[in-house]
């Protein structure tokens, strides 16, 4: 594993399949279009966390039938009308034995052994397997990545400890296990960047519009032209269901278009949606490093140019868009996540999980002003 790898998304080159090659061939297009409208039996491994419910709802909206598989710990009352098989991916897959599904969406694979075991068990019982990976699988972020870029390696391939350091390399190994068990023809691998929108329990993207809604002087990192990329959870869900419905195989980064959006755009959109104007205080990287302001929950979605993932927000998403991924305007994402946020109880909204606390932000702004008086 690359030393000093940035711990940015925890929440070997993949030769062979490429998105474009494995995508929809002209000859198969008609057949796939036809199958798009067929009602499928879909098994979702992990459908009750953040992104899973959006996929489940989209699949139900398109009249597919869903079976859930999880431990029954997260939001267990969310889908009372759906069949739920209770089991732990680490120790008990027995509920999946002897069953058939048209497609499997693997949302909860963080450990290679778990992905290997479920893919092995399901390989002969399903027509298509879709694995949710991450852009954190890439080895290096000093240049923009595309689907063929080198993947991160991990020395201890047996470790099952998922940390900020091991998350990306373990997801790369999970991808490899899925490929070994399922084969490239029937496998889709999606690599989302930061996922945002209603239901996001990390508050990493949400911090910016939520903080904007409070007004006053607001600290912003770097400069307004700094690029930013996310994926709206609903766009990811739509594309996921498209992939299983149309049997689109291959590997796809799922991100907003590279260089289409910046931190300055995020400020503008946050102000426009919330109807609140802030007084932005843009602080530079040396200042952020000096005060360790980017650390941990400090400034989410900030990746220093001098850090180890400077080009993370220039990941190519063109293959996914060619295969049908649609990215809604980020202003719409902000609008919907703010309505969701307002619907949450006080104990949740009074303690966001990312971003500067009010006191820390005031301290930093005062220090910046003093240094630049
Ligand atoms: N959030 C992001 O920004 C982001 C970015 C890139 C990629 N991703 C990827 O997106 C996927 C889903 O993320 P998420 O944030 O939606 O996850 P999440 O909220 O933590 O949801 C995890 C789901 O998996 C189930 N689950 C977890 N461990 C399990 C186990 N051992 N056995 C059976 N079921 C288990 C959970 O239900 P129970 O607890 O009831 O078991 C829940 O339904 C992950 O693969 C992640 O790597 C996320």
93-112 exposure pattern, b = at least 16 Cβ within 10 A, e = fewer: beebeeeebbbbbbbbbbbb
pLDDT tops 70 at residue 13: no
- Over residues 31-64, the pLDDT tens digits come to 455 566 799 999 999 999 999 999 999 999 999 9
pLDDT tops 50 at residue 163: yes
Rounded Cα–Cα distance for residues 238 and 54 (Å):
9
Full set of structural domains in the chain with CATH: 19-371 (3.40.50.720)
Atom of ligand 1 nearest to the CA of 106: 45
Q: Is 28 helix (H, G, I), strand (E, B) or coil?
A: helix
- Over residues 54-94, the pLDDT tens digits come to 999 999 999 999 999 999 999 999 999 999 999 999 999 99
pLDDT tops 90 at residue 254: yes
Tell me how many degrees the CA angle 300-303-307 measures, rounded to the nearest 5. 140
The pLDDT, as a whole number, for residue 32 is: 55
89 Cβ below 6 A of ligand 1: yes
Query: For a substitution probing ligand 1, which of 7, 46, 320 has the most ligand atoms within 8 Å of its CB?
Result: 46
Residue whose pair of structure tokens reads 């109880």 in the numeric block: 345
- Over residues 127-149, the pLDDT tens digits come to 999 999 999 999 999 999 999 99
262 CA to middle of ligand 1, Å? 28
Instruction: Give the residue, 297 or 218, on which the prediction is more confident.
Output: 218
Rounded Cα–Cα distance for residues 216 and 209 (Å):
13
Give pTM, 2 decimals. 0.92
CA dist list (Å): 304 to 142, 243, 290, 346? 11, 34, 12, 33
159 CA to middle of ligand 1, Å? 19
Instruction: Give the residue, 27 or 209, on which the prediction is more confident.
Output: 209
11 Cβ below 6 A of ligand 1: yes
76 CA to middle of ligand 1, Å? 13
The pLDDT, as a whole number, for residue 162 is: 96
Q: What is the mean pLDDT of residues 179-201?
A: 98
The pLDDT, as a whole number, for residue 373 is: 86
288 CA to middle of ligand 1, Å? 31
DSSP for 315-354, written as a single string: ---HHHHHTT--PPPHHHHHHHHHHHHHTS-HHHHTS-SS
């Amino acid at each position: 594993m690359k030393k000093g790898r940035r711990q940015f998304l925890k929440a070997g080159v993949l030769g062979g399949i490429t998105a474009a090659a494995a995508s929809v061939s002209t000859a198969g297009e008609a057949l796939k279009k036809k199958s798009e409208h067929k009602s499928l039996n879909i098994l979702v491994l992990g459908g009750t966390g953040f992104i899973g419910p959006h996929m489940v709802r989209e699949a139900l909206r398109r009249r597919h039938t869903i079976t859930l598989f999880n431990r029954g710990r997260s939001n267990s009352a969310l889908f009372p009308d759906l069949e739920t098989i209770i089991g732990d991916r680490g120790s008990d897959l027995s509920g999946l034995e002897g069953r058939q599904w048209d497609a499997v969406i693997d949302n909860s694979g963080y450990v290679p052994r778990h992905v290997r075991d479920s893919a092995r068990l399901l390989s002969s019982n399903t027509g298509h397997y879709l694995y949710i990976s991450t852009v954190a699988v890439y080895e290096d972020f000093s240049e923009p990545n595309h689907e063929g870029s080198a993947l991160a390696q991990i020395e201890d391939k047996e470790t099952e400890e998922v940390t900020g350091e091991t998350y990306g390399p373990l997801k790369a190994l999970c991808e490899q296990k899925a490929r070994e068990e399922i084969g490239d023809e029937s496998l889709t691998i999606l690599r989302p960047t930061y996922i945002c929108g209603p239901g996001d329990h990390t508050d990493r993207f949400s911090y910016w519009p939520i903080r904007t809604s409070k007004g006053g002087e607001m600290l912003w990192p770097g400069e307004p032209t700094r690029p930013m990329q996310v994926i709206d959870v609903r766009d990811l869900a739509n594309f996921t269901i498209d992939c299983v419905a149309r049997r689109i195989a291959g590997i796809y980064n799922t991100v907003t278009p590279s260089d289409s959006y910046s931190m300055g755009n995020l400020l503008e959109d946050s102000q426009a949606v919330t109807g609140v104007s802030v007084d932005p205080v843009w602080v530079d990287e040396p200042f952020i490093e000096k005060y360790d302001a980017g650390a941990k929950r400090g400034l989410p979605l900030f990746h220093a140019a001098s850090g180890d993932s400077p080009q993370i927000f220039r990941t190519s998403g063109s293959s996914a868009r060619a295969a049908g991924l649609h990215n809604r305007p980020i202003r719409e994402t902000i609008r919907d996540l703010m309505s969701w946020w307002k619907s949450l109880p006080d104990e949740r909204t009074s303690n966001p999980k990312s971003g500067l606390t009010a006191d820390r932000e005031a301290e930093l702004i005062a220090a910046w002003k003093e240094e630049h008086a």
